[in-house]
Amino acid sequence: MRRWNFSWDKGVGIFLIVAVMIGTLLSDNFANASNLSFVLRDVTEFAIIALAMTFLIISGEIDLSVASALNLSSASLGFLYRAGVPFELAIIGGLLVGLACGLFNGYLVTKLGLPSLAVTIATLALYRGLSYVLLGNQPVNELPEFWISIGYGRILGTFLPWSTILLVVLAAIAWFVLHHTRYGRWTFAIGVNAEAARFSGIPVERTKLMLFAMTGLMAGVAGVVYTLRFASASPDGAVGYELSIIAAVLFGGVSIAGGVGTMWGVIAAVLSLGVIRSALQLTGFTANSLLIVSGALLLISVIAPKITEALRKRPSALGKDNTKKTIREVGNEKPTH
Amino acid sequence: MKNRLIKSGLRTFALSAVVALGIAGCASTETVTEEPAESTETSEAAESYRIAIMPKAINIGYFAAWDEGAQKACAELGATCDYIGPNEATGPAQVQFINQVIQEGYDALVISAADQNAIVPALQEAAAAGITIVTSDADVAAESADARLVTILPSAADRIGTAEVDWIAEEVGEEGCVAILSASATAANQNVWIAAMGPYLEETYPNMSWCGGDLESATFYGDDDATKSVEQFNAILSQYPDVAGIIAPTTVGVLAAAQEKKAKGATVAVTGLGLPSEMAPYIEDGTITKVGLWNPIDLGYVAVYAAVLSMQGEFDGSVGSTFTAGDASYEVVEGGIAYLGDPFTFTIDNIATFKEIY
Amino acid sequence: MVLSKPETGTPVLEMAHVAKSFGGVRALVDASLTLYAGEVHALLGENGAGKSTLLKTLAGVHRADAGEIRLNGGDFHQGNTRDSIDQGIAVIYQEPSLFPDLTLAENVYVGRQLTSGGLVDWAAMEKGAQALFDRLGVSLDPMAKARGISIADQQIVEIAKALSTDTTVIVMDEPTAALSSKEVERLFSVVRNLRDQGSAVVFVSHRLDEVFALCDRMTVMRDGSTVASSLISETSESEVVRMMVGREVSELFPKLEPKIGDVVLEVRDLSLAGQFSNISFDVRAGEIFALAGLVGSGRSEVIRAIFGIDKYDSGSVTLLGKKLPAGKPSVSMAAGIALVPEDRRQQGLFMASSIARNVAVTMLKKLSSWLVLRRKHEESTAAKWASTLQLKFADLSDPVERLSGGNQQKVVLSKWLATEPTVLIVDEPTRGIDVGTKAEVHKLLSQKAQQGMAVIMVSSELPEVLGMADRVFVMREGEHRGTLDRSEADPETIITLATGGVMSV
Amino acid sequence: MKTFKRLVTARELPVFIALVAVVLLAGIANPSFLSASGATDILLGVAIVAILAVGQTFVIVMRHIDLSVGSLIGFTSFLIGDIYAQGYGLMAGLGAALAVGLVVGAVNGFLVAYLQLPSLVVTLGALYIVRGVFNDYAFGRTITAAMVPPEIAWIGLNRLGSIPYLFIIGLSLAIVSGIVMRRVKAARDLYAIGSNPAAAELAGIPVARRVFGAFLFNGALTGLAGAVMLGRFNAANANSGLALELIVIAACVVGGVTIAGGSGTVWGAFLGAILLQAITRTIGALGIPQFWQQAFNGALIIIAIAFDKYLNSRVKTTTIMGSKDA
């Protein structure tokens, strides 16, 4: 017999539905195809990076440099294009730069054994700085019309942005890999107990390196999407996205302590935040309110499971649950029992 | 003060309640759109236009004055104007609000572009949806000028740049090296002005130079952030100990420079573009002799007129066309630009009056 | 209940009819423990008998639902851990809980640092800790950080901590589990010393030989209740075992007749700086090959290197004629080596994950067709092994942290047996497991060996080594000291080789 | 001898050496850097980050983190000016700043200590909420020099010899906090908690109360530091303090306060803040182009962390139970 367990990711799914319903009730301009396309387009870059960040946080690591990596990829694309490289090649260049950012983070964390929180605060500054080195004070604009129309336009005859196709494909892959392949299992196992994972023959360091690399690559993909959507590459784009992305992932039920989370919870969370933003704007709240709502949602996402847990105290022979989850997992951890 | 805090607190609570309970009722408790302008009855407006007034960011004081002018015009024209925008001055953040403008079917959008490129596709989409777009205070890139009807700018770019050079020349006795404390490296306005300063200083004042030998070495970026601007001010002093004057063509930069100059008792002359209300203490105590700025109230005011007149069919934004706002008339010049005129300067003589205005 | 005649005088501690439930599970039903000053009192019982819960009630970690606790004839206040410490209860847990970033002196005084004038007095703490270390006969630098000191030293620091206050009761929860025999002897002399000075010591151990060597009295628990309490001198090992398990354990080491085959694993000149050097041996199919030696002699390090957890500096490991790369557990695993590690909770299991996931983690590739992981196969595999090893559980989706220690070890064994390894390495396979499960594990290892698996066993328990091994490879200080056949292996020879000739037990 | 040995092995020493090296390097390249005014620059610039780094150290040694400080200090700096401008005076403003700091610290502390929620998530939420409330409260208004209480403005502008008062405030705070963390029992508990949380519980340390207390202290300190920030800039707006949290954490990390908890000192964090500031300034003094500045900062933080790791792994002996990766 299976108990139906309430888990936060299901809560987020319900929350998304409720948010859509409230938005529909409160604003005539909310529930239509055009608004949906705006919401989808707005969350694309966040969502693409969040997919990779989900893996990373589940494995017990974190990457604060993603927004800078996104921008460095965008800046590299612009730099190459301005230098006369064909646009298609420049896109590949941007993707490779994103990948390189991720690999560098991964190298510092897995090979040198440095804590990812500290490392990626440093590379946050480094990658942003390199964007300035590449572009100086000159943003790149006048990108090829065709590509901009892909970046901003919609699929002919529909309301769906082209970038949504990319997002759906990437999300499907991410969901499949996380929940239906051994690589996903490895990710969870490493997050629950990295040492036991190593003793179970899981290539812990290689997996983590791959996860950092993938996060960098997704930042690169997001960087390309970002460049096309805003028809320009500049050194100061996407500032501060990193905390928003991490907030979205955590809101989606991924535990900062590692080992817990679902892909669809994260997707629902990213969409929820887009929907709420839209609903708040359309009902006349200011941008400041969105900050408050984001913060409140984040807190609720960690408080709510505590409350449900307290409500149905499961019988446990261990007595007091002493697994206190803190930021420490970002550094090193040695659970004591 | 107390009321505001309580209001903020209540709003936070209300928002949290919406989130926590997922109930609908609260959203109607309060909204923070601008108070509708006092509806002075107007004769000329047969229909009431809805116009979105979008600053680079709603939290910047300068734009409160800009919005004041816009609201005044709206009241005169019988239009309904909503002051909406992001809380961070970036293009991508602004795009989300341009989307809202499209979604809510506004008739016109008056916007100060936070990013000269990033918002262009969104503006084009808005234009395609039939929205009249006027940029004011900050324009989109010249290549994308067709994304808007017309732009209202304070003065010709070269004039703002050269005026600032003239101010600093006067203060340093037309001698010595000068550095620039700008906003962000990608700030379009500042970059255009700085470009105009470069050759002008070299040609007009033979005994003056750019610190470090060229414009690029003399330019520092404070990112319109108080902390960073102060840091960069100090970087200028330590890198060029002989610097005679600093031009800060940004309200954040000039304020930071004035404060730091006063704190350190530095002798370097400082001028630039500053809000009189913010700069008044420094002008009054002699830290700063002169700063300049156009009147942001006028910028907002004229932009709303341009938008409404165009919707009424009385103005088409083409080069050479003219329109009247209040008691002044404006002509559109090459590039689809209408200029307000020379920047105002503020000194000890007039600061007392202007600090009360904006 | 079999009660022996009480000692004279009032008991220091009386725990009577203590009961405690967690949710619906009754961990303690009717537990009693009486302790007198100047005795070492053994608390015995299988895992899950309730020993730890009873001690944690005393330590202030848990609060009893019912029952009476009296200390020095007065009421014992059941508060938090602080309150218990203040009342003179010191608990030394199985895994010492020091603070690696603090100095040894501060570790001794943690939570109640010495002060003068309201400020922490570092000089006094250094002096105090030094005095305690001297009294315990160890040379430790009180101002050195605790990070990196040996487990034996950690235990000494814990004891120093207990001695630094007016402690009336010292509880030691399996203190010898990770100690070498030499260190055990040092510990015993410290404990006897404490007893002679009038302390009451509660000693928990699964090693009956130690209990009989050290303790004066004992209390046996089973299923949450106290079943017996008597003088050690009035009982015997077999009687104690019977009381603990509630039945006769006829065969603790059910060794089957081995069928030794060809060499499957060749280890040649394996060296790792500071850990071990020039280790060479062959292991044959069907034999149980024991690595014996003191803790710290490099046994665990050798098998970690063979499996690839640590990268060795030089030498080679060859499995079935194929050379294995150094430092690659995944390759070793695929080639047919399995390692049941020493530290079950930290290295062997994903405590918060389900039983099924724990069992399946080593064979995710086999359970996948192309890329897709087939969950049905995962569950059926787990179910198969659970029944093979007679695992006691409610649901395969339950987290393993809800299982008892013995059952947890079965999960670890399952996950490795499921890979059908050529060589199974087990490191302290029965540490902290109750007697009943111990016999089951031994039987399983014997069976697997008989079926042709090569088993390498690291064990600190001599009876286990002698009872199970076909050959014994003895190490001392990282070097090979001798290899003994089953016929020539006896405690004296092994200890002589392991200690360098000095007999210590 | 023993004292000397302890001094040499102290984690703060390399930070200090690096600082001296950086200053000398910059001084050789650009002599004005070594002048009194050059030093004044760095000391003035570092005051805010240094104060926040001191408070953050209390939190990080417990293996926790407080991301809400940037939003909070911005809010209270605005609040002090605003309340003064409304005519309620300086003390009312400081009182309000302290109260807001205490409330935010208490909420963070309660959620982390008593509900045992992860501090990263809790304080990230607080970062957003405080910034949102602050922006809503400020809403386009700015605090100008005329609205700054004159006492605060005076402290921000003046110095003792060539040492700015703001730095003296920071330094005194660091000295006092340093002594507290070394010599006060409750503060020693924070190290124990960060070093081994489960063992701290068993050792009878009131873990929850200490964690709550540290967050409360950091909140109160950050709230009051709003006055320092106001004195420093003589102005405030809705963006004050934006993104300061990561700089503060970087300063702690550079100063040897390890993210994993249990080790590091207030003095180290203070030195770390000065080192970061000096490096930023050095880049300018060495004539490295503007656009390279941020990249250099990032690279230098990486070097600092890697160096820390190198240092620790040298000190650490391998344990029988296997060495742990950091």
Identity of residue C291: L
Check if the beta carbon of residue D100 is closer than 8 Å to that of residue D216.
Answer: no
User: Are B27 and A292 an interchain contact pair (Cβ–Cβ within 8 Å)?
Assistant: no
Residues C452 and C133: their CA atoms lie apart, in Å, by: 51
Q: Give yes or no for residue A324 having a pLDDT over 50.
A: no
The correct CATH number of D2-314 out of 3.50.4, 3.30.160, 1.10.3470, 3.40.109 is 1.10.3470
Which chain A residues touch C347 with a CB distance below 8 Å? 195-196, 199
Task: Pick B353 or D50 by higher pLDDT.
Answer: D50
Q: Give yes or no for residue B81 having a pLDDT over 50.
A: yes
pLDDT of A220 reads: 97
- On whether both B100 and B150 belong to a single domain, the answer is yes
Q: Give yes or no for residue B181 having a pLDDT over 70.
A: yes
pLDDT of C26 reads: 78
Q: Where are the beta strands (DSSP E) in C407-478?
A: 423-427, 454-458, 471-476
User: Are B186 and A137 an interchain contact pair (Cβ–Cβ within 8 Å)?
Assistant: yes
pLDDT of D181 reads: 93
Residues D72 and D78: their CA atoms lie apart, in Å, by: 10
- On whether both B305 and B247 belong to a single domain, the answer is no
The answer for B 288-347 residues in CB contact with A (under 8 A) is none
**D103 CA to chain B: closest CA distance, Å?**
13
Residues C151 and A120: their CA atoms lie apart, in Å, by: 35
The model's pLDDT over C337-378, given as tens digits with 9 standing for 90+, comes to 999 998 888 899 998 889 999 999 998 888 888 888 888 888
Q: Cβ of C236: how many Cβ atoms within 10 Å?
A: 12
Task: Find the CB nearest C361 among A195, A200, A316.
Answer: A200
User: Are C95 and A314 an interchain contact pair (Cβ–Cβ within 8 Å)?
Assistant: no
pLDDT of D3 reads: 62
**Range from A151-155, B102-106, C161-165, C255-259 that averages highest in pLDDT:** B102-106
Which chain A residues touch C25 with a CB distance below 8 Å? 315-317
- On whether both B100 and B126 belong to a single domain, the answer is yes
User: Are C100 and D262 an interchain contact pair (Cβ–Cβ within 8 Å)?
Assistant: yes
The model's pLDDT over C132-175, given as tens digits with 9 standing for 90+, comes to 988 887 888 999 888 877 777 888 898 888 888 878 899 988 88
Asked if the structure places residue B209 within a domain, the reply is: yes
Domain ranges of chain A: 48-261
- On whether both B249 and B123 belong to a single domain, the answer is no
Closest residue in chain C to residue D317, using alpha carbons only: C148
pLDDT of C182 reads: 76
The model's pLDDT over C222-238, given as tens digits with 9 standing for 90+, comes to 888 999 899 988 988 88
Q: Taking the CA atoms of chain B, what radius of gyration do you get in angstroms?
A: 22
Please, which residues have CB within 8 angstroms of residue B37's CB and are 6 or more apart in sequence? B71, B72, B74, B75, B80, B81
pLDDT of B8 reads: 53
Residues C145 and C106: their CA atoms lie apart, in Å, by: 9
Does D133 touch chain B if contact means CB atoms closer than 8 Å? yes
Q: Cβ of A198: how many Cβ atoms within 10 Å?
A: 22
Does C115 touch chain D if contact means CB atoms closer than 8 Å? yes
Share of chain C above pLDDT 70, in %: 94
- On whether both B161 and B275 belong to a single domain, the answer is yes
Q: Which of A30-39, B96-105, C144-153, C214-223 has the lowest mean pLDDT?
A: C144-153
pLDDT of C166 reads: 77
| Prediction ipTM score | 0.82
Phi, psi of C478 (to 5 degrees): 80, 5
**What is the CATH architecture assignment of C2-98+146-245?**
3-Layer(aba) Sandwich (3.40)
User: Are B60 and D156 an interchain contact pair (Cβ–Cβ within 8 Å)?
Assistant: no
Measure Cα distances from D238 to B96, B136, B355, D314 in Å.
20, 23, 20, 46
What integer best gives the mean pLDDT of chain C? Answer: 86
**C437 CA to chain A: closest CA distance, Å?**
19
Q: Which domain holds residue B107?
A: 52-155+296-341
The domain C249-336+421-505 belongs to what CATH superfamily? P-loop containing nucleotide triphosphate hydrolases (3.40.50.300)
Does C296 touch chain D if contact means CB atoms closer than 8 Å? yes
CATH of the domain at B59: 3.40.50.2300
Closest residue in chain D to residue A65, using alpha carbons only: D298
Residues B183 and C396: their CA atoms lie apart, in Å, by: 62
Which chain B residues touch A36 with a CB distance below 8 Å? none
Q: Give yes or no for residue C81 having a pLDDT over 60.
A: yes
Q: Which residue has the tokens 């300067």?
A: B345
Please, which residues have CB within 8 angstroms of residue D249's CB and are 6 or more apart in sequence? A117, A118, A121, D56, D60, D65
User: Are C120 and D206 an interchain contact pair (Cβ–Cβ within 8 Å)?
Assistant: no
Check if the beta carbon of residue D16 is closer than 8 Å to that of residue D304.
Answer: no
Q: For each successive 10 residues of chain D (326 residues), what is the average pLDDT?
A: 60 82 81 71 85 96 94 96 94 97 97 93 94 90 88 88 89 94 93 91 91 97 96 88 89 86 90 86 74 81 79 43 28
Check if the beta carbon of residue D218 is closer than 8 Å to that of residue D248.
Answer: no
Check if the beta carbon of residue C44 is closer than 8 Å to that of residue C218.
Answer: yes
What integer best gives the mean pLDDT of chain B? Answer: 84
pLDDT of D2 reads: 58
Identify any residues that bridge with C71 across adjacent strands, giving them in sequence order.
Answer: C13, C74
Strands B208-210 and C200-204: unpaired
pLDDT of C24 reads: 63
The answer for A 169-228 residues in CB contact with B (under 8 A) is 226
Q: Which residue has the tokens 């009451």?
A: C200
User: Are A331 and D246 an interchain contact pair (Cβ–Cβ within 8 Å)?
Assistant: no
Instruction: Give the model's confidence band at C293: pLDDT under 50 very low, under 70 low, under 90 confident, else very high.
Output: confident
Q: Mutating which of B16, B53, B182, B250 best tests the A interface, going by the most A Cβ atoms within 10 A?
A: B16
Check if the beta carbon of residue D36 is closer than 8 Å to that of residue D244.
Answer: no
pLDDT of C47 reads: 66
Asked if the structure places residue B75 within a domain, the reply is: yes
Q: Give yes or no for residue B46 having a pLDDT over 80.
A: no
pLDDT of C104 reads: 93
Task: Find the CB nearest A25 among B24, B100, B223.
Answer: B24
Phi, psi of D6 (to 5 degrees): -65, -35
Q: Mutating which of D321, D323, D324, D325 best tests the C interface, going by the most C Cβ atoms within 10 A?
A: D321
Residues A337 and D163: their CA atoms lie apart, in Å, by: 51
Q: Give yes or no for residue C448 having a pLDDT over 50.
A: yes
For C273, the token pair is 């700086």
Helix or strand or coil: residue B156?
A: coil
pLDDT of C223 reads: 82
Which chain B residues touch A244 with a CB distance below 8 Å? none
User: Are B16 and A292 an interchain contact pair (Cβ–Cβ within 8 Å)?
Assistant: yes
Closest residue in chain C to residue D193, using alpha carbons only: C99
Residues A188 and A140: their CA atoms lie apart, in Å, by: 41
User: Are D261 and A115 an interchain contact pair (Cβ–Cβ within 8 Å)?
Assistant: no
Instruction: Give the model's confidence band at B142: pLDDT under 50 very low, under 70 low, under 90 confident, else very high.
Output: confident
Question: C-alpha angle with apex A133: A130 to A138, nearest 5 degrees?
Answer: 120
Q: Where are the beta strands (DSSP E) in B64-212?
A: 80-83, 108-111, 132-136, 150-153, 176-182, 208-210
Q: Which of C45-54, C410-419, D93-102 has the lowest mean pLDDT?
A: C45-54
Q: Give yes or no for residue B43 having a pLDDT over 60.
A: no
Task: Examine chains C and B and say if they touch (3+ CB pairs below 8 A).
Answer: no
For A38, the token pair is 């705006």
Check if the beta carbon of residue A88 is closer than 8 Å to that of residue A219.
Answer: no
Asked if the structure places residue B314 within a domain, the reply is: yes
Closest CA to C329 of C319, C339, C320, C321: C339
Closest residue in chain C to residue A3, using alpha carbons only: C397
Q: Give yes or no for residue A327 having a pLDDT over 70.
A: no
Please, which residues have CB within 8 angstroms of residue C236's CB and are 6 or more apart in sequence? none
pLDDT of B47 reads: 64
Using CB atoms within 10 A of its CB, is residue C256 exposed (0-12), middle (13-18) or buried (19+)? Answer: middle
Average pLDDT of the residues in A280-302: 88
Task: Pick A312 or B124 by higher pLDDT.
Answer: B124
Chains that touch A (3 or more CB pairs under 8 A): B, C, D
User: Are D204 and C84 an interchain contact pair (Cβ–Cβ within 8 Å)?
Assistant: yes
Q: Give yes or no for residue A3 having a pLDDT over 50.
A: no
Domain count, chain B: 2
Closest residue in chain D to residue C108, using alpha carbons only: D203
Q: Give yes or no for residue A6 having a pLDDT over 70.
A: no
CA dihedral D127, D133, D136, D140 (to 10 degrees): -50
Helix or strand or coil: residue C113?
A: coil
Residues C143 and C433: their CA atoms lie apart, in Å, by: 37
Check if the beta carbon of residue C362 is closer than 8 Å to that of residue C333.
Answer: yes
Ordered alpha helix ranges (H), C6-67: 51-59
What integer best gives the mean pLDDT of chain A? Answer: 87
Q: Mutating which of B194, B238, B254, B268 best tests the D interface, going by the most D Cβ atoms within 10 A?
A: B238
pLDDT of C3 reads: 38
For B307, the token pair is 């938008």
**A144 CA to chain B: closest CA distance, Å?**
13
Task: Find the CB nearest D198 among A327, A330, A336.
Answer: A336
pLDDT of A141 reads: 86
User: Are D196 and A125 an interchain contact pair (Cβ–Cβ within 8 Å)?
Assistant: no
Residues A99 and A134: their CA atoms lie apart, in Å, by: 17
The answer for B 7-46 residues in CB contact with A (under 8 A) is 11-12, 15-16, 18-20, 22, 24, 27-28, 31-33
Give the number of C-D residue pairs with CB atoms closer than 8 Å.
95
> Burial code of C441-455, b = ≥16 C-beta within 10 A, e = fewer?
bbbbbbebbeeebbb
Q: Which helix (H) or strand (E) element contains residue D305?
A: helix D293-315
pLDDT of B121 reads: 92
The model's pLDDT over B252-302, given as tens digits with 9 standing for 90+, comes to 899 999 988 888 788 999 999 998 988 998 999 999 999 999 888 999 999
Residues B168 and B164: their CA atoms lie apart, in Å, by: 6
Question: C-alpha angle with apex B17: B14 to B19, nearest 5 degrees?
Answer: 115
- On whether both B121 and B187 belong to a single domain, the answer is no
pLDDT of B11 reads: 53
Share of chain C above pLDDT 90, in %: 37
Q: Give yes or no for residue B44 having a pLDDT over 50.
A: no
According to DSSP, residue C475 is labeled: E
Does B283 touch chain D if contact means CB atoms closer than 8 Å? no
Strands laid side by side in the C454-458 sheet: C337-340, C423-427, C454-458, C288-293, C471-476, C479-485
Please, which residues have CB within 8 angstroms of residue A207's CB and are 6 or more apart in sequence? A59, A183, A186, A187, A190
Strands B344-346 and B291-293: antiparallel
Task: List, by residue range, all CATH 3.40.50.300 domains of chain C.
Answer: 2-98+146-245, 249-336+421-505
pLDDT of C501 reads: 55
Q: Which of A109-113, A276-280, B19-23, D201-205 has the lowest mean pLDDT?
A: B19-23
User: Are A230 and B95 an interchain contact pair (Cβ–Cβ within 8 Å)?
Assistant: yes
Identity of residue C470: D
Identity of residue A272: S
Closest CA to D312 of C122, A105, A115, A191: A115
Closest residue in chain C to residue A176, using alpha carbons only: C372
pLDDT of C388 reads: 86
Please write down the HEC assignment for all residues of chain A: CCCCCCCHHHHHHHHHHHHHHHHHHHCCCCCCHHHHHHHHHHHHHHHHHHHHHHHHHHCCCCCCCHHHHHHHHHHHHHHHHHCCCCHHHHHHHHHHHHHHHHHHHHHHHHHCCCCHHHHHHHHHHHHHHHHHHHHCCCCECCCCHHHHHHHHCECCCCCCEHHHHHHHHHHHHHHHHHHHCHHHHHHHHHHHCHHHHHHCCCCHHHHHHHHHHHHHHHHHHHHHHHHHHCCCECCCCCCCHHHHHHHHHHHCCCCCCCCCCCHHHHHHHHHHHHHHHHHHHHCCCCHHHHHHHHHHHHHHHHHHHHHHHHHCCCCCCCCCCCCCCCHHHHCCCCCCC
